[in-house]
Amino acid sequence: MSRLLERRDAAGVRAGLERAGLEPPHGFIRQVDRRYDLAVHLDHLLRPLDARDDFRIGHGKGADERWVLLERLPWDSAFFGRGVARLHACVDPRGPTPPRADTGAAVAAIGAALALAAQHGIDYVFGTVDARDLPGIRSLCASGFELIETRCHYHLALADWQGDRHPARLATPADMPSLARAARDTVNPFDRFHADPAIPPEDADRLMETWVRASIAGGFADATLVPDVASPEAFCTVRYHREHWQGWGLRLAQPVLSVVAPRHRGWYVRLIAEVNHHLRGIGAEHAFLVTQATNNAVIRSWEKLGYQYGKAEHVFRRLLR
């Protein structure tokens, strides 16, 4: 075993990841430039990391060589008060892994990376896997990971979209108390934080509250839309992703986190409609969203507004202590 970027040329590692057949994150949207999207993804996976956070390794030789992309997440670790890491991928640098391939080498490599992480205080590791990546799913299951969440991605072309208007506005700092309360008290038991018995419910609630506060005042989002009332208890945060519009060849934006308290029953579909109008107003051509496969009400709302299914992925987690 060796650190992935210690004994290997960075360009060679990048070429190996390209050969491995990693999917571009937004490749489910046909209009996105896949080469650019993958390049951005690889830039992120191979960016310089603090030595305390870097558990990217190479393991095995020849046909058994596998590369594991694992890193500590400083923000998550500080928030939850434990060592949290993300497993991005385990790949064969020679080429894509066939669906029915043996996963023994991958399991051995993942085990080595987890052991290294555990030696440096990591005790909580999660990762997402595309639902089509059968070898990846088997590798994580054989490595002791548990399924925590299944997500669906939907998307919509905004150019010709038409929808009703509703009284909504951008959130302000004065709205934070009511929105934070709604985020804390309106629980989705199937999101990966509330669904995971290893995360105390009060921490999951606190995370939702932190996200909405940071979305309005801390740069987590580019905009947050709310019903145009005093002390609203419903919201949808939005990221524009403008820095990638030219490279993608598509002005793609993302509604991120939505909460609708009982007081605003019926407002979810209205908020998403208003988000669509808002995105068109700032020049976006396309939007995508993510939710749990169990969230039938949200998926029905999206389909009512014209959103189409894009892809599914699973979230797995393993505890190291």
Pick from 227, 224, 222: which is nearest to 173 by CA? 224
Give the pLDDT score at 2.
87
Give the pLDDT score at 7.
81
Q: Give domain 156-310's CATH number out of 3.90.1720.10, 3.40.50.2300, 3.40.630.30, 2.40.70.10.
A: 3.40.630.30
Return the residue matching tokens 């059968």: 134
- Find all residues with CB under 8 Å of 314, minimum gap 6, and list them: 128, 129, 131, 137, 147, 149, 150, 151
- Please state the domain extents for the chain: 2-144, 156-310
Looking at the DSSP bridge assignments, the partners of residue 69 are 89
C-alpha dihedral sign at 247, 314, 59, 76: positive
Give the three-state DSSP class for 250.
coil
Return the residue matching tokens 């009512």: 304
| 164 neighbors 273 (Cβ within 8 angstroms) | yes
Give the pLDDT score at 261.
95
Chunked into runs of 10 residues, the chain (321 residues) has average pLDDT values of 88 96 97 98 97 97 97 98 98 97 98 98 98 98 98 96 95 96 92 97 95 92 97 97 99 97 95 98 98 96 97 99 89
Per the structure block, which two tokens stand in for 79? 């928030």
Does domain 2-144 match CATH 3.40.630.30?
yes
Pick from 176, 186, 211: which is nearest to 261 by CA? 186
Tell me the helix, strand and coil percentages in the chain, rounded to 5.
Answer: 40, 25, 35
Give the pLDDT score at 1.
77
Pick from 55, 109, 44: which is nearest to 77 by CA? 55
Per the structure block, which two tokens stand in for 124? 């909580």
Count Cβ atoms within 10 A of the Cβ of residue 17 and give its class: 0-12 exposed, 13-18 middle, 19 or more buried.
Answer: buried
Give the pLDDT score at 245.
99
Give the three-state DSSP class for 302.
helix
- Around Cβ 95, how many Cβ atoms within 10 Å? 11
CA–CA distance, 20 with 39 (Å, rounded to integer):
14
Pairing state between β 57-59 and 2-3? antiparallel
| Alpha-carbon separation of residue 161 from 244, 286, 287, 302, 306 (angstroms) | 22, 10, 11, 13, 8
156-310: same fold as 2-144? yes
Looking at the DSSP bridge assignments, the partners of residue 71 are 54, 86
